[in-house]
């Protein structure tokens, strides 16, 4: 599902200290670390959910975002639990990357109605969660590409 994105992260670890404040206040390492923290946090949440509790509900913001296929920059604030540390270490990103690969494998066996609750998009079932993870990760990888231009 996110193999291409994870490969990009692996290939760009050498640039973790690179920054361009005209593009982002955060450096490359921050964006890579944050992306992986989100993947791993969301995977833990969906794994621990109970499919019976899933309630399908219409969400206009989710519909628009998922249809457009991207997040606008600078509009959302990351929750504290997925914020990178002051200093992002290459080894920590590698460790999170291994966990992310493992977590995505685990997702394959989950029930379709296991879910993750997003603060804006509300309950996302497995298919929607995977779409969210792809959109979110690509959002940050685009920022990384812009920093490296």
Over the stretch 107-132, which tens digit does the pLDDT of each residue have? 999 999 999 999 999 999 999 999 99
Residue 67: pLDDT over 90: yes
Map tokens 């291994």 to a residue: 98
With a threshold of 0.85, does the pTM exceed it?
A: yes
What distance in Å separates the CA atoms of residue 45 and residue 42, rounded to the nearest whole number?
5
Give the sign of the dihedral formed by CA 85, CA 89, CA 95, CA 98: positive
Calculate the CA dihedral of residues 62, 63, 66, 71 and round it to 10 degrees: -50
Return all residues near 56 (Cβ < 8 A) that are at least 6 apart. Answer: 123, 125
What distance in Å separates the CA atoms of residue 32 and residue 15, rounded to the nearest whole number?
10
Residue 74: pLDDT over 90: no
Over the stretch 132-142, which tens digit does the pLDDT of each residue have? 999 999 999 99
Residue 1: pLDDT over 90: no
pLDDT band at 76 (very low <50, low <70, confident <90, very high): confident
Question: Tell me, what's the pLDDT at 60?
Answer: 97
Rounded mean pLDDT of the chain? 97
The token pair at 79 is 């929750």
Question: Tell me, what's the pLDDT at 116?
Answer: 97
pLDDT band at 77 (very low <50, low <70, confident <90, very high): confident
* All structural domains of the chain: 3-12+24-148 (1.20.120)
């Amino acid at each position: 599902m996110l193999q291409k994105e994870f490969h990009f992260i692996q290939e760009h670890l050498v640039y973790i200290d690179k920054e361009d404040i005209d593009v982002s206040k955060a450096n490359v390492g921050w964006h890579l670390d944050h992306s992986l923290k989100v993947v791993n946090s969301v995977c833990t949440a969906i794994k621990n959910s109970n499919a019976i509790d899933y309630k399908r509900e219409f969400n206009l913001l989710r519909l628009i975002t998922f249809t457009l296929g991207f997040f606008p920059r600078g509009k959302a604030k990351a929750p504290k639990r997925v914020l990178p540390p002051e200093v992002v270490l290459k080894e920590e990103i590698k460790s999170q990357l291994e966990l992310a690969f493992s977590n995505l494998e685990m997702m394959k066996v989950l029930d379709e109605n296991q879910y993750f609750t997003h603060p804006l998009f509300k309950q996302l079932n497995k298919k929607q969660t995977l779409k969210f993870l792809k959109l979110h990760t690509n959002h940050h990888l685009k920022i990384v590409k812009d920093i490296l231009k």
